[in-house]
Amino acid sequence: MDDINLKLPELYINRELSLLEFNRRVIDQAKDETVPLLERLRFLCIASTNLDEFFEIRVAGLKQQVRYGSVQTGPDNLSPTEVLKRIRETALQLVDEQYCILNEILIPELSRQRINILRRAYWKPKLSRWIRRYFTSELLPVLSPIGLDPAHPFPKVMNKNLYFIVSLDGKDAFGRESGLAIVQAPRSLPRLVHLPADICNGPHDFVLLSSIIHAHVGDLFPGMKATGCYQFRVTRDGDLFVDDEEVDDLLRALEGELPTRRFNDAVRLEVADNCPGELSNFLLQQFSLTTDDLYQVNGPVNLGRLTAIPDLVDRPDLIYPGFTPDLPPRLVKQGNIFDTLRNGDILLMHPFQSFAPVIDFLRQAAADPDVLSIKQTLYRTGDDSAVVDALKQAARSGKEVTVVIELRARFDEQANIELASDLQEAGAHVVYGVVGYKTHAKMIMVVRREGRSLRRYVHLGTGNYHARTARLYTDYGLLTCDKAVGEDVNKMFHQLTGLGRAGRLKKLLQSPFTLHKSIMQFIQHEQSMAEQGKEARIIAKMNALVEPEIIRALYAASQAGVKIDLIIRGICSLRPGVKGVSENIKVRSIVGRFLEHTRIYYFLNGGDERIYCSSADWMPRNLFHRVEACFPIEEKRTRDQLVQYGLQPYLSDNCQSWMLQSDGSYKRNRPGNHKSRAAQQVLLDHYCG
């Protein structure tokens, strides 16, 4: 058993293909009849958006490797070319399934609920007249058709924007007859038009912008005949390139790169499935793509735009029921959060428990005359952030406020640049972390004078300081005034804002210095316990597991008899259930109402349990190329809470859980004759009643 080579490629699942399998599980939610109808539509839109980002980042990166002649392989030993080939096969299946669900399941079911997306074939005369007026008054003034000829070359096409290629017959006023034109739908135009109730059969009828343009595209070319009009969309490389060794001002470098991202190299072309082959090939040539990059779709080229429907339709019976997040009783009884924390830690389990205590923590700190300073990391915050408002208020009131903003939070770069400016104007000190290492740790530290001494109060989290996602993602936050934890957080802030060697931390584990090494030691200790015939147990919950050394350590622990349960939402490169290697490892994924985002590491440790929460997944980028914080859960009350509600419901879930098979596929758990148990519903029932 022990002589099996744990580096064999067949023991590893390709990370890109694993990510596509996660998207398959999201798509399955759109088919699930136990999910409210409008939420099923929302899941379909989420899957489409996920696929967009997958092409923008993952496929773009693989294409770049191929272009530069890279033959480097991962633990699975698949070359970039082979991975792209397999991605193509799977992505085609997923795209076909998305549009099949939309056209054959969701649109008919929505229609039965008097929510209609009206296609042109079903427009009655009264509606057609209204749409013509709408086109003339709202669209015609802002559309700019571009005829293709030597004076008008093919235009620059923006990333993920809606365009139409139009075939024409006849000559224009100048005698030109190129036969082709491009029409861009400006981003300012709504992709979905909510129709007035008095011209339809009900209050919730919609028409797609693409349908309106198709119907009246001929009006853009007077005196000519539009013989065809076909929507298309291009996906481009979404990464920004900033040379860490050359840049001397990260903010200015990013500001210079952001406008170019919309026109980076193309990686995918989506076209209507009725677009003639010669036009599809013409478009592929314009973007330097091949037929392997072409995706033909039976519907709108951007399904993500349909996510507006649940927000425009007032049908509470077709969405998840609302809930009121719980407040820990200790915070309800005692208004002053600093007094409360001196009597013990508080573990917040979002979204089942409110994010408000985190905001109150900052607001009370801003208003408290005994508070001297506040330090915080920010990765994503969202618009109109109460967290940011509290920091600005603290700075204006004379507190020493230092904010570490990660400018390179993907797709939030522009928002974070503006955030940095706002905070600086309010009087806060703003730094951008460490060049070459994303600051992904989620930390707040408040320093308060109490008598003759100073005390540090700390919040550490697994997720962003974003009030909206705190209602959509599962995340944990620890509020504590533990002295050693406060000293550790203070040292981490000194690393981020100043210069010098990393100080030794007493309780926290930190990437890129101690986290990977410590996790390896913890796994190996469980292996040693099993080899001694003692009970050994590992439970880990996170978004992704990719790092090969940790996977090999888990394999070795499994071979020694350690019972291992992994709750991995998305990518998992470990292959469970392999005879002689991973028979003691189970991997499950939870996909439900809320996006699972918590990271918990549990080690039995001979009965003296080690339990940590973290901002880090077990991926190379988190462990070696980011600043991450991993914090222990030490008080018995919070440890019991985390085991009872953070782990056990997920291990017993038989409704929203999927088990990873040894071949890389996932099989959904079903309750059968047993009582239904859905982890997220268990937590809603417990905390929100």
Beta-sheet pairing, 204-208 with 146-147: unpaired
* CA pair distance 592, 605, nearest whole angstrom: 32
| Cα 632-635-639 angle, rounded to 5 deg | 70
Active-site residue (options: 216, 440, 516, 597): 440
Instruction: For residue 686, indicate whether it is catalytic.
Output: no
Local structure of residue 237 (DSSP, 8 states): -
Task: Read off the amino acid at residue 187.
Answer: R
Return the closest-CA partner of residue 27 out of 116, 105, 115, 119: 105
Return the closest-CA partner of residue 496 out of 391, 416, 405: 405
* CA pair distance 315, 32, nearest whole angstrom: 19
* CA pair distance 550, 567, nearest whole angstrom: 15
Return the closest-CA partner of residue 110 out of 32, 205, 198: 205
- Phi, then psi, of 41 in degrees rounded to 5: -60, -40
- Phi, then psi, of 545 in degrees rounded to 5: -130, 110
What would the two tokens of residue 513 be?
């210095």
Return the closest-CA partner of residue 119 out of 43, 8, 195, 227: 195
* CA pair distance 320, 236, nearest whole angstrom: 34
Residue 533: left (phi > 0), alpha (psi -120 to 50), or beta?
left
* CA pair distance 306, 102, nearest whole angstrom: 10
Return the closest-CA partner of residue 624 out of 548, 554, 680, 560: 548
* CA pair distance 112, 54, nearest whole angstrom: 34
Q: Are 184 and 172 in contact (CB under 8 A)?
A: no
Return the closest-CA partner of residue 341 out of 474, 440, 442, 450: 450
The residues assigned a catalytic role are 440
